[in-house]
Amino acid sequence: MALPPAARRYLPVAAILAIVVVLPFVALGSGYHYRLATLVWTATIAVIGLNLLMGFAGQVSLGHAAFGGIAAYAVAVLPAHLGLHPVASFAVGVAAAGLLAAVVGRPILKLKGHHLAIATLGLGILVAMVIQNEAAWTGGPDGMQVPRVEIAGLRLRGAEPWYWICGLACVAAALLAVNLVDSPTGRALRAIHDSEIAAKVAGIDVPRAKLKVFVLSAVYAAVAGGLLALSSGFASPDTAGFLHSVELVTMVVLGGLGSIFGSLVGAAVLTLLPQVLTVFQDYEHLVLGALMIAVMVGLRRGIVPSLGDLLKGRRT
C-alpha cells in the first residue's frame, strides 16, 4: 500500500476503531452479544500490553493475569470494605499493579528465557494464592461482587455503556502502543529484543528500558482487569490465575507477536471459542491445549503476520 509511513503506522488503530463503531450495527443483537464483545475489548487491552513486552521487547511473562486480578479485586474490595468510589478504586488498583510491577520488575527482569518465564509464573501464582486465601477480604474462591458505577448521578448499567467504554479504551490502548513502537523508546525495546549487547553499546540503559515496558504492560493488564470487573459486576479469582496468564500469552502468539491488530485477533479467537464450545464445556481444556500446540507448531508467527506473508506471496 502506498501510504506514507506515518499514516501506515495508525492502520491497526483505525481498523480497531472501525470495528468498535460498526459492530453494534451489524452483529450485536442482544445484551449477551454486547457483553461478549466487551469481553473481547478488555482482553485485547491486556494482550496489547503483553505484546509490547513479549513481541517488541522480547521478554516473556507467565504471570500477567495477576496484575489484572489486582485491579479487579481493587474495584471489588475497596468499595465494599473502605467505601471508596468504584472509579477511585479502579485508579488505586491500576496504580497498585503498576507499583508491584515496578518493585518486582528490577530483580525479575535480570533473568532471561525460561528463568524469566518461571519467575513471572511463580509471582503470578503467589498473587492468585493470596487472592484465593484471604477470603475475609476477597470472598475467596467464590469471587466478589463489584458495585455498579455511578458518575455524577448517571448510573452505568446494562451492557451497552460498557461496550463503548471498553471499546474506546481498547482503541486508546492501541493508539498509545502504536505511538510507542515508532518512537525512540520503541526502537530501544526492539533493539533489546534483537541484541541486548548491541543495544547497550548504542547507549541504551537496558534494565531501565525493560522495567518501563514491564510496568507499562502491567498497567495495561490492570486496566483490562479493572474494566472487566466493572463491566461484568464481578471479580473472580480465575481472572488472576495461571490458566488465564497462559491464555493471555496464547492470545499474543496466536494473533502474532509484535502485531497490534493481531492482539485483537488473538483475543477475539480465544475469548469467543469457549463461548462457541459451551456445548462441549468439558472439552474446553482439550481444545485450548490442542490449539496452543497447533499454533506454535504450524503457524508459529501467528495469524496476522502469517496472513500478511501470504498476501505478499511468502511461505510461513
Partner 1 sequence: MSLLQVSDVGIAFGGVRALVDVSFAVAAGEIFALIGPNGAGKTTLFNIVSGVYRAGSGRIALAGEDVTGLEPNRLAARGLSRTFQNLQIFPQMTAVENVMVGRHLKESRSFLRHLFGLAGPDNRASRAHALAALAEVGLAGHADAMAGALSYGAAKRLEIARALATEPRILLLDEPAAGCNPVETEEIEAVIREIAAAGVTIVLVEHDMKLVMRLSHRIHVLAQGRTLASGTPDEVRHHPAVIEAYLGAHGTTEAARGRA
Partner 2 sequence: MQEFLQFIFSGLTVGAVYALVALGFTIIYNASEVVNFAQGEFVMLGGMTTVFLAAAGVPLPLAAALAVVATVAVGLALYAFAIAPVRGASTVTLIIITIGASILIRGAAQVIFDKQVHRLPSFSGDAPITLAGAAILPQSFWILGGAAVIVVGLKAFFEHTLTGKAVLAAAANSLAAELVGISLRKVVGLSFALSAAIGAVGGILAAPITFTSYDMGTLLALKGFAAAMLGGIGNPIGAVVGGLMVGLLEAFGAGYVSSSYKDGIAFLVILVVLFAMPQGLFGRAKVERV
Cβ-based neighbours of 178, under 8 Å, separated by 6 or more: 9, 10, 12, 13, 260
291 touches partner 2 (CB under 8 A): yes
| Span 174-213, contacts to partner 2 by CB under 8 A | 197
State the nearest-atom distance from the C-beta of 255 to partner 2, in Å: 13
Is 200 a binding residue for partner 1 by CB under 8 A? The answer is yes
85: partner contacted, choices partner 1, partner 2, none (Cβ within 5-8 A by kind): none
Q: What is the x/- site pattern for partner 2, positions 229-258, by CB under 8 A?
A: -------------xx--x--xx--x-----
- Of 247, 248, 267, 259, which is closest to residue 307 (Cα–Cα)? 259
Here the cell at position 216 is 507499562
By beta-carbon proximity to partner 1, the closer residue of 146 and 181 is 181
Q: Which one, of 87, 72, 86, lies nearest residue 139 by Cα?
A: 72
The packing angle between helices 206-232 and 159-181, to 10°, is 170
Please report whether residue 117 would count as binding partner 2 according to CB under 8 A. Answer: yes
Judged by CB, which is closer to partner 2: 54, or 267? Answer: 54
User: Backbone phi, then psi, for 85, in 5-degree steps?
Assistant: -65, 140
Which DSSP helix (H) or strand (E) runs through 150? strand 149-151
Distance in angstroms (rounded) separating the CA atoms of residues 230 and 21: 21
90 CB neighbour count, 10 Å cutoff = 25
The residue (of 6 and 297) whose beta carbon lies closer to partner 2 is 297
Question: Which partner from the list partner 2, partner 1, none does 113 bind, CB cut-off 5 to 8 Å by kind?
Answer: partner 2
Q: 3, 79, 43, 30: which is closest to 271 by C-alpha?
A: 43
Task: Pick the binder of partner 1 from 88, 182, 238, 242 (CB under 8 A).
Answer: 182
> Which residue's CB is nearer to partner 2, number 152 or number 197?
197
- Three-state secondary structure readout of 202-232: CCCCHHHHHHHHHHHHHHHHHHHHHHHHHHH
Residue 136 touches which of partner 2, partner 1, none (Cβ within 5-8 Å per kind): none
Q: How far is the CB of 94 from partner 2 (least distance, A)?
A: 24
Least Cβ distance, residue 13 to partner 2 (angstroms)? 26
198 counts as binding partner 1 under rule CB under 8 A: yes
Nearest in space to 241 (alpha carbons), one of 70, 106, 74? 70
Q: Which H or E run contains 182? A: none
Q: Is 316 in the site for partner 1 (CB under 8 A)?
A: no
> If 0-12 CB within 10 Å is exposed, 13-18 middle and 19+ buried, where does residue 23 land?
middle
Q: Is 293 in the site for partner 2 (CB under 8 A)?
A: yes
Of 19, 60, 177, 218, the one binding partner 2 by CB under 8 A: 60
Q: Which of 133, 145 has the CB closer to partner 2?
A: 133
The contact set with partner 2 (CB under 8 A) reads: 54, 60, 62, 107, 111, 113-115, 117-119, 121-123, 125-126, 129, 133, 197, 242-243, 246, 249-250, 253, 282-293, 296-297, 300
